[in-house]
Chain A
Amino acid sequence: MSRLPADDIYAGTPRQRRKTSRNARVVKTPRPLLRMPPPIKRLQRQAPMLAIQGLSELSGRLRDLTGHEVIDMARVVELMQFVYRQQQLARRGADYAVDDFGFDAEWTESFLPLFKILYRDYWRIETAGIEHVPAAGRALLVANHAGVLPWDGTMIKTAVFAEHPNPRHVRALVASLFMGMPVLSWFLRRTGQTVGHPDDTRRLLDRDQLVLVFPEGVRGTGKLYQDRYKLRRFGRGGFVSTAIRSGAPIVPISVVGSEELYPMIGDVAPLAKLFGLPYFPITPFWPWLGPLGIIPLPSKWRIQFHPPIHVEVHPPEAADDQNLVMGLADQVRDTIQQGVYDNLKLRRGVFV
C-alpha cells in the first residue's frame, strides 16, 4: 500500500489538493444485529450505577422502617467487586504464574467474596482461637471431617484468610480419588489443594505453608447422620510423623455444624461402586430433588482453633517411634473430640 508522505498532502493550494486527492474510503464499524435506540443504550451503560443507587436507597428506607440493617451495602459492593474481578481475571490470558502444585493465589482470592457470604450470612460461623494459627512459618492444621461434601475445608480456609490478622492461604490435602475427577481436579489444584501424600505434605511444610489435613478422610465425610459428632479413627497417625519430620506444630481444629449439611440417612454401596465414588449418599433431599439436593442446609457453625501441640520439640528420628506417634495422634484426636462436645454445648440449636 503506497501512501503520500504527510508533507505532500498539505502541499499546494486547496484547489490543487482537491485535484490530486482521491476519495477516502470510510471504514464503518460492523453494525450490530439488533440496534438499540439511544435511550436504552444509555440505560444499559448506567444500569450498574442505578442498581447500586436504588439498592442503597432501599437499604436506607428499610433501616429506618425496621430499625436494623436489612440490606448491607458493604456486601452488595463486595459482590459487584467480585463480578468485576472475574471479568478482569478472564482477560489476563496466559499472563499469570502458578506454583509447582498448580496453586493460583490471585484466582483463589477472587472467589473469597462468595465464600465469605457463605461464611458470614449462610452458616453464620463463629470462630474462636484464630490466634493459635501462627502468623508466619509452618503448621499442620488437623480438623474433624464431616458433611458429604468437604465444605468444612473451604470454611476453615475462609476463616484463616478472612479472620486472621495476617491473612494466609491454607493448603488442604485431598483424597487422590477426587484429584482424578473432571472439574474437581482442576478447581482443587487451582485453589491450592494437593494430593494427600506424605511427600506433598512435607514439601508444603518445608516451604513454610499452612497445611490442613483431615485424618478421618472419606470415612469422616461418609458417616451416617446417626453417627454424627463421633470422630472416626485417625488413620495410622501418618500426619504426626510428617509433622515431627518437618518440625511443624499441630493445630487441632474442632468444627461443629458441618455434620448437619446433608443428613445422610443411607449409603448405596453398589451405586457408589458404579460411579467410582467412596459412598453414594441418600439424604431427605438427594437424589429425590435432583440438583436441588446438593444445596447444603443452613446449619449454625462453630469453628474452634485449639492451642498448638508442639510436636517439633521431638527430634526428627522420633517420627519412627510408633508408640510416641500413636500417642500424639490420640492426643490430637481427643482434643478435637472434646472441642466438638464443648462447642455443641455452646450452640443453642442446629439452625440458630
Chain B
Amino acid sequence: MDFVHADTRQSVIGKLVRQLRIDTVVHLAVVIDSPREDRATHETNVIGTMNVLAGCAGPSSPVNRLIVKSSQAVYGARPEYPSLIVEDSAGFGRAESSVSRDLVELEQLTHDFALRNPGCRVARMRLGYRMTRETSLGRYLSLPLVPTFAGFDPRLQLLHEEDAAEAVARAALGAQEGAFNVAGDGIVVLSQAIAIMGARATPVLPPYGRWASRVAVRLATGVRIPVHMADLLAHGSVVDCSRLQTEFGWRPAYSTRAVLDAFALGQTEEPIESPSPPQEYELQVYLQRRRRERRDGRGSAALALSR
C-alpha cells in the first residue's frame, strides 16, 4: 500500500491515475463537519471534486469504479421533509447552509460524470452524522449542560465510524451505482441522547434566529455548531437506508442507540493524526520512483489519496 500526499485542488489526479493505471478511486476529501463554512471548504468540496472527476474522465482513463463521499447533510433538515428521507429527495427546496449547497453541487457534478462516462460505475455514499470527540455533534453532546432550542426535540440518526469505513470499503469492492444513504438503524430524540450522555438539557436557545444562537453557544461553551447542524438540532433528519440494504445486502452493525452508548462509554477510536500539508514535489518524487519500479517489473496496486 502506498500513501501519497496530493491536493485535490490541483489537477494532478489525471496524471496519477493514468500513469499508475488505477482502476478504483475512492474520493473522501469532502469536508462536511467544518467549523467554519468559508471559501476553503467550498474549494475543497466542489473544486476538489471537479478536479478528481476531471482526472478520472475521458476515454483514456483506466478508472472503472469511483466512490464519492457525501453526507446526510445533503438533504438539510427541514420540517416539511418526510420522516424518513429517501435518496431521490436530495436537492429539493433551497438549501440553507453552504455545506448542503456544496454537497448538492458536488453530487450533481458526480451524477453528470456518471452519465458522460458509462464505462465508470459511480456510487455516492451519503454517510450519516458521526459522533466522535472530533465531530461537532460529539463535542456538543459532551457538554455537561447542553443548550437546546426551546420547544424542539428533534429525532437524530447516527452512524458509527467503523460502519462508515465498512460502507465505503464495500462500495469500493462492489459495483453498485447511484446514491446510497448510510446510517444506523432506529432513532433517538435529542433529549434522550443528552440523558444517555449523562448531561442535562437546557432549553435556553430561542426557537427562531439560528445565527444568534450559534454565536451564543460558541461564546458560552466554545463549541462551534455549523449552520446545517443548527437546523438538525431543531428539526432533525432521519434517512431511509433500505436501498443500501437491498443493493449491498448489508446494514450498519451499530444502531443509533448503540453508537450513542458506545460514545457515552468512551469506546470510540483514537483520532487519526491529520497529515501535514501536501507538497507538489513529494508527488513528483513518488511518480519517478514508481516509473523506476515499473521498469524493474515491481509495483503495488492500492493507493490512498488525501488532502
**A residues apposed to B, CB below 8 Å:** 93-94, 96-98, 100-102, 176-177, 179-186, 189-190, 194-195, 197, 199-200, 203
Contact of B82 among A93, A94, A182, A199 (CB under 8 A): A199
Distance in angstroms between the alpha carbons of A180 and B81 in the assembled complex: 10
The answer to whether A94 and B150 have CB atoms under 8 Å apart is no
The DSSP consensus for interface residues of chain B is loop
Min C-beta distance of B77 to chain A, whole Å: 11
Interface centre among A96, A98, A186 (most CB of B within 10 A): A186
Given contacts A180-B235, A200-B83, contact A102 B152 (CB under 8 A): no
Question: Which of B102-110, B115-123, B189-197 lies at the binding interface?
Answer: B189-197
Q: Across the interface, which residues of B come within 8 angstroms of A195, CB to CB?
A: 79-83
The answer to whether B153 and A186 have CB atoms under 8 Å apart is yes
- Known: A93-B195, A199-B84; 7 extra A-B contacts, CB below 8 A, are A102-B155, A102-B236, A177-B79, A179-B79, A182-B149, A195-B81, A199-B82
Interface status of B151 (Cβ within 8 A of chain A): yes
- Per-residue CB contact flags for chain B residues 265-283 toward chain A (1 = under 8 Å, else 0) read 0000000000000000000
Distance in angstroms between the alpha carbons of A185 and B208 in the assembled complex: 14
The answer to whether B150 and A182 have CB atoms under 8 Å apart is yes
Q: Across the interface, which residues of A come within 8 angstroms of B193, CB to CB?
A: 94
Min C-beta distance of A156 to chain B, whole Å: 21
The answer to whether A100 and B187 have CB atoms under 8 Å apart is yes
The answer to whether B151 and A186 have CB atoms under 8 Å apart is yes
Task: Name B257's closest neighbour in chain A (CB-CB).
Answer: A97
Task: Name B78's closest neighbour in chain A (CB-CB).
Answer: A180
Distance in angstroms between the alpha carbons of A101 and B193 in the assembled complex: 16
- Per-residue CB contact flags for chain B residues 70-107 toward chain A (1 = under 8 Å, else 0) read 00000000111111101000000000000000000000
Q: Across the interface, which residues of B come within 8 angstroms of A177, CB to CB?
A: 79-80
Min C-beta distance of A77 to chain B, whole Å: 31
A-contacting residues, B47-63, CB 8 Å: none
The answer to whether B82 and A185 have CB atoms under 8 Å apart is no
Contact of A183 among B80, B151, B195, B235 (CB under 8 A): B151
The answer to whether A200 and B82 have CB atoms under 8 Å apart is yes
The answer to whether A182 and B80 have CB atoms under 8 Å apart is no
Contact of A194 among B83, B86, B149, B188 (CB under 8 A): B83
- List 14 contacting pairs A-B, 8 Å CB cutoff, sorted by A: A93-B195, A94-B195, A102-B187, A177-B79, A179-B80, A180-B79, A180-B235, A181-B151, A182-B151, A185-B151, A185-B235, A195-B81, A195-B83, A203-B83
Given contacts A94-B196, A96-B192, contact A182 B207 (CB under 8 A): yes
Q: Across the interface, which residues of A come within 8 angstroms of B196, CB to CB?
A: 94
Distance in angstroms between the alpha carbons of A309 and B154 in the assembled complex: 36
Min C-beta distance of B142 to chain A, whole Å: 16
Interface status of B186 (Cβ within 8 A of chain A): yes
The answer to whether B84 and A203 have CB atoms under 8 Å apart is yes
The answer to whether B152 and A100 have CB atoms under 8 Å apart is no
The answer to whether A189 and B80 have CB atoms under 8 Å apart is no
Q: Across the interface, which residues of A come within 8 angstroms of B235, CB to CB?
A: 179-180, 185
The answer to whether B83 and A100 have CB atoms under 8 Å apart is yes
Interface centre among A93, A97, A183, A199 (most CB of B within 10 A): A199
Q: Across the interface, which residues of A come within 8 angstroms of B83, CB to CB?
A: 100-102, 194-195, 197, 199-200, 203
The answer to whether B187 and A176 have CB atoms under 8 Å apart is no
Q: Across the interface, which residues of A come within 8 angstroms of B233, CB to CB?
A: none
The answer to whether A176 and B79 have CB atoms under 8 Å apart is yes
Q: Across the interface, which residues of B come within 8 angstroms of A93, CB to CB?
A: 195
Min C-beta distance of A105 to chain B, whole Å: 14
The answer to whether A189 and B152 have CB atoms under 8 Å apart is no
The answer to whether B86 and A199 have CB atoms under 8 Å apart is yes
Task: Name A201's closest neighbour in chain B (CB-CB).
Answer: B82
Interface status of B238 (Cβ within 8 A of chain A): yes
Q: Across the interface, which residues of B come within 8 angstroms of A97, CB to CB?
A: 186
Distance in angstroms between the alpha carbons of A200 and B186 in the assembled complex: 16
The answer to whether A98 and B150 have CB atoms under 8 Å apart is no
